[in-house]
Amino acid sequence: MSGSVDLVVMLSTARRAVQLYPPAHPSYREAIDAVVTAVAECSGQDGGFVLNAHEGRLYDGSAVITSDAPALGSLVQSMERHRIESLTFDPSFATTDAVALAEVLNLRPAPSLKVDEELSRRGVTAVVVGALGDDEVQAERKERDVRREKDRALYRQLVAVLRAVQRDVATSGSPNLDQAEDMVGTIMSRLLEDNAAVLGMATMNARDEGALFHSINVMIYTLTLGLGLGLPEDGLQGLGICALLHDVGKAAFDLDDPEQARAAMLLHPKIGAEALARLPEEDPSTMLVAFEHHMGADGSGWPERPDGYVTHPYSRMVSIADRYENLTKHGDQGHPVTPDRAVVQLLREAGRSLDPLFTRLFVQSLGVFPIGCVVRLSDQSVGVVSATTGDLLRPRVRVLYDARGMEIEDPVDVDLVGDTRNIVEVVDPESLELHVADHL
Ligand SMILES: [Fe+2]
Ligand SMILES: [Fe+2]
């Protein structure tokens, strides 16, 4: 197994070396020789070695290759972007093959680029490429679309459930939370499965149902923080419900009327807490979060409370998610702030109105360039951050527009760890008329 990890690491080093150095440079030669040695060491008795890529993982034959080395992620992505399912190395693999392979893997993927043809054009006979069929690529794309549609349906369902809960509150009834609890559980498992898809949904907004969307998005961000904190599953579910219902008191007001909207702002914590106090629940956290989520950690905010009053930890967590959602949707000046700036603003408020420890954890979970952040790379291509990586400044980016600004039909994910490009700028998605949630 360690042989195959070595091969992957050496191949990644060689890809960088052929970009950085001229062929006569000692580092170039060293890197290429190391690939040849690694292939020889991987080749079994019967000769040859097969490297397979499948669903984001690399396999030594049929055994999954596990290692923390970032090279693994970058090679599997490169193979997938080039639609390579497998690379079979022949024992005759030599220096010229290693150079050609490193160079070809560095080429920008394009529908017109066929890796097997490109390698044979360069005289390579010791590497056989197993190409992903167009059918498989299509099937993958279709599967992603189906999943996205399912997630959207889940989100719409949650909007409907929350609308019913709010109606109960507005009419002074006692809301039934069973359905909401089930749905928080479903969203939570989706978050664990595919956090990009769920955090992508949290970027959604709706003019007419903004308040409901806001509550669901705050729940998603709060759960992200809860996961970062390592809360157990039942704790997370309770936390999710608290976040979902934090603004439930607003349901008692007509928010389209400016005067009522002002009153709602001041009074919704108290009214929400009163409605939730009517629930037979033994756990007071939902009521407390509704009551306390506008109380600053430094004594600022409202409602008023006695000196030394300590808010529930869930209230402090929801405050952070609430602030982040508000900044990214409206900002303080009525114009949305990009996610990276919202993160900086949160850090500025940490230790003042926001709990410092939870804020830092939240920022750590989201990253400096949170999922959904639209970024321009150093080659002028533009994409959306689709995953965080071990490197805060080098997330994974789904490239949507190429360097000439042309929309890419079949966007690919690029792990900036192990890529030569950097993020040079965060772009306002509105300036590109881009709906981030459609791309995650
Ligand atoms: Fe609120
Ligand atoms: Fe809120």
Q: What is the pLDDT of residue 298?
A: 93
Phi then psi dihedrals of residue 253, to 5 deg? -120, 155
State CA 347 to chain mean position distance: 20
DSSP 251: G
Q: What is the pLDDT of residue 46?
A: 65
215 and 286 in contact (C-beta within 8 Å)?
Answer: no
**Cβ neighbours, 10 Å, residue 310:** 11
Nearest bound ligand to the CA of residue 218: 2
Q: What is the pLDDT of residue 377?
A: 94
Question: pLDDT for 58-71, tens place per residue?
Answer: 898 888 888 877 78
Of residues 40, 39, 31, 33, the one with CA closest to residue 12: 31
CA distances from 263 to 236, 253, 256, 273, 288 (A): 32, 8, 12, 16, 20
How much distance in Å is there from the Cα of 227 to the middle of ligand 1?
A: 22
Classify domain 137-366 at the CATH topology level.
Hypothetical protein af1432 (1.10.3210)
CA distance 313 to 324: 17
CA distance 408 to 431: 18
437: left (phi over 0), alpha (psi -120 to 50) or beta: alpha
How much distance in Å is there from the Cα of 251 to the middle of ligand 2?
A: 12
How much distance in Å is there from the Cα of 239 to the middle of ligand 1?
A: 16
How much distance in Å is there from the Cα of 244 to the middle of ligand 2?
A: 9
How much distance in Å is there from the Cα of 438 to the middle of ligand 1?
A: 28
pTM for this one?
0.73
How much distance in Å is there from the Cα of 214 to the middle of ligand 2?
A: 7
Residues 265-273: contacts with CB under 8 Å, at least 24 apart: 266/302, 269/293, 269/294, 269/302, 269/303, 270/303, 271/169, 272/169, 272/245, 272/246, 272/247, 272/248, 273/249
Q: What is the pLDDT of residue 420?
A: 83
CA distances from 351 to 202, 232, 277, 409 (A): 26, 26, 30, 45
How much distance in Å is there from the Cα of 302 to the middle of ligand 2?
A: 13
Question: pLDDT for 364-388, tens place per residue?
Answer: 989 899 999 999 999 999 999 998 8
Lowest mean pLDDT among 237-241, 297-301, 323-327, 404-408: 404-408
Nearest bound ligand to the CA of residue 325: 2
Residues with CB under 5 A from ligand 2 (ion): 247, 322
Dihedral angle sign, alpha carbons of residues 346, 350, 354, 356: positive
Report helix angle 285-292 to 313-329, nearest 10: 50
Question: pLDDT for 349-366, tens place per residue?
Answer: 999 999 999 999 999 989
Nearest bound ligand to the CA of residue 323: 2
Pairwise pLDDT comparison (205 vs 1), residue with the higher score: 205
* Res 302 pLDDT > 70: yes
How much distance in Å is there from the Cα of 291 to the middle of ligand 2?
A: 12
How much distance in Å is there from the Cα of 288 to the middle of ligand 2?
A: 14
How much distance in Å is there from the Cα of 198 to the middle of ligand 2?
A: 19
Nearest bound ligand to the CA of residue 326: 2
Q: What is the pLDDT of residue 312?
A: 96
Beta strands at 382-387 and 396-401: parallel, antiparallel or unpaired = antiparallel
How much distance in Å is there from the Cα of 188 to the middle of ligand 2?
A: 20
Query: Rg (Cα) of the chain, in Å, rounded?
Result: 26
How much distance in Å is there from the Cα of 365 to the middle of ligand 2?
A: 20
How much distance in Å is there from the Cα of 268 to the middle of ligand 1?
A: 7
Nearest bound ligand to the CA of residue 302: 1
Q: For residue 152, what are its two tokens? A: 């959207």
How much distance in Å is there from the Cα of 247 to the middle of ligand 2?
A: 5
- For residue 216, the surrounding DSSP H or E stretch is helix 210-229
Task: List the chain domain ranges.
Answer: 2-132, 137-366, 374-439
194 and 242 in contact (C-beta within 8 Å)?
Answer: no
* Res 224 pLDDT > 90: yes
How much distance in Å is there from the Cα of 310 to the middle of ligand 1?
A: 18
CA distance 352 to 389: 29
Q: What is the pLDDT of residue 45?
A: 61
CA distances from 22 to 14, 16, 17, 84, 119 (A): 12, 12, 9, 27, 20
Reported confidence tier of residue 234, pLDDT bands at 50, 70, 90: confident
**Cβ neighbours, 10 Å, residue 123:** 9
How much distance in Å is there from the Cα of 192 to the middle of ligand 2?
A: 24
Q: What is the chain's mean pLDDT, rounded?
A: 89
How much distance in Å is there from the Cα of 404 to the middle of ligand 2?
A: 40
